Amino acid sequence: MARVFSGVQPTGALHIGNYLGALRQFEAAPGHLYCIVDWHAITEPHDPAQLHRGTLHVASAMIALGLHEESVLFVQSHVPAHVELMWYMTCTGTMGELQRMTQYKAKAKGRRSVSVGLFAYPLLMAADILLYRTEKVPVGEDQRQHVELTRDLAERFNSRFGETFVLPEAVMPPAGARVRSLTKPLEKMSKSDPDPDSKILLLDSPDEIRRKIKKAVTDTGREIRYDPQEKPGISNLLEIQSAFTGEPISKLEEMYAGKTYRELKEQVAEVVVEGLRPLREKMEAIAAHPGEIEGILKEGAEKAAALAEPMLKEVRQKLGFLERLPS
């Protein structure tokens, strides 16, 4: 079975973009690894208490999805191998490659100072993926470029030092790979957006979900059709409904012919409320037992570290480092 690896940053409350683009695609199969990437979460100034809470929050979602039962669920900072491999990636990638990353350009734009960590972040992500000989990386559209960079780095390393790394591939869902903000539908829905009405959180109550969708920015005109250029707000709602129900967007367009924006919003709200209900209830139950969450993560870290060690050993050898003394 193809090795799957994916990571989610514990930088804030999870929203339906994280769910539809990433978490929902995560399969609880043996040999798959799901990581809470806390080292990625400090590339921007952060609040330590929030990092701690956020880590348990992301873990509660992964556990609610049952990922710990068959797969390895762990916290990145519990497996130091990730930073060692990152250093090798740092010496493999180039400044030019990192400067071309869309996400970096967007985040650095107009700022006088950004951390080296924000710039180098894709190299840490490459290390996460390559460490486990990953073949498939389920992620949202915004991460496609980082996975492509990972392939380039792996190819470069392999051609310099001999076949070592597996070339990974990003996997994206047919709908929901890029959920847009409810208030600014030209932008993606984002954990870091300070406007609470821009996103639907996995832990939002049914009434909050209904209120936010009712307030969602729509477009001029009255026709309900999928056209992300001309009608980004309506298209986003159609895509959310399609992602939750599995119905193709063309079918939804037929269904909504002659209907009003209000009717669309009411339907979408119900689909989202019901789609999230079981997950929210499980997450709340799990969050009440942080000790159990930590136990699961500890066990996961041991398994991940054992999988990472032979890979690192091979990489050190290929690079010409002297063998370490057994500890």
Residue 272 sits in the site that holds ligand TRP (CB under 6 A) = no
List 58, 75, 85, 139, residue binding ligand TRP (CB under 6 A): 139
65 binds, among ligand AMP, ligand TRP, none (CB under 5 to 8 A by kind): none
Q: Alpha carbon of 314 to those of 123, 131, 255, 319: distances in Å?
A: 19, 11, 57, 9
Contacting range for ligand TRP; rule: CB under 6 A; set: 135-143, 177-185, 217-225, 309-317: 135-143
Please confirm, yes or no, whether 107 is among the known catalytic residues.
yes
Q: Alpha carbon of 172 to those of 20, 37, 123, 139, 160: distances in Å?
A: 10, 19, 21, 6, 31
Helix H or strand E segment including 136: strand 136-138
Tell the smallest beta-carbon distance from residue 64 to ligand AMP (Å). Answer: 16
In whole angstroms, what is the distance from residue 24 CA to residue 99 CA?
31
List 20, 62, 75, 125, residue binding ligand TRP (CB under 6 A): 125
In whole angstroms, what is the distance from residue 132 CA to residue 135 CA?
9
Is 12 or 275 the residue whose CB approaches ligand TRP more closely?
12
Q: Angle 116-130/144-161 helices, nearest 10 degrees?
A: 70
Is 139 or 234 the residue whose CB approaches ligand TRP more closely?
139
Residue 4 sits in the site that holds ligand TRP (CB under 6 A) = no
Please confirm, yes or no, whether 298 is among the known catalytic residues.
no
Is 132 or 256 the residue whose CB approaches ligand TRP more closely?
132
Q: Alpha carbon of 85 to those of 13, 57, 124, 180: distances in Å?
A: 29, 27, 8, 34
List 58, 59, 75, 128, residue binding ligand TRP (CB under 6 A): 128
List 3, 4, 5, 269, residue binding ligand TRP (CB under 6 A): 5
Contact set with ligand AMP (CB under 6 A): 8-9, 17-18, 20-22, 139-140, 142-143, 177-179, 188-189, 191
16 neighbors 189 (Cβ within 8 angstroms): yes
Pick the closest to residue 270 from 241, 309, 231 (CA basis): 241
Please confirm, yes or no, whether 303 is among the known catalytic residues.
no
Tell the smallest beta-carbon distance from residue 271 to ligand AMP (Å). Answer: 17
Tell the smallest beta-carbon distance from residue 248 to ligand TRP (Å). Answer: 27
71 neighbors 28 (Cβ within 8 angstroms): yes
Is 18 or 183 the residue whose CB approaches ligand AMP more closely?
18
Pick the closest to residue 287 from 5, 91, 13, 6 (CA basis): 13
List residues with catalytic annotation. Answer: 107, 188, 191
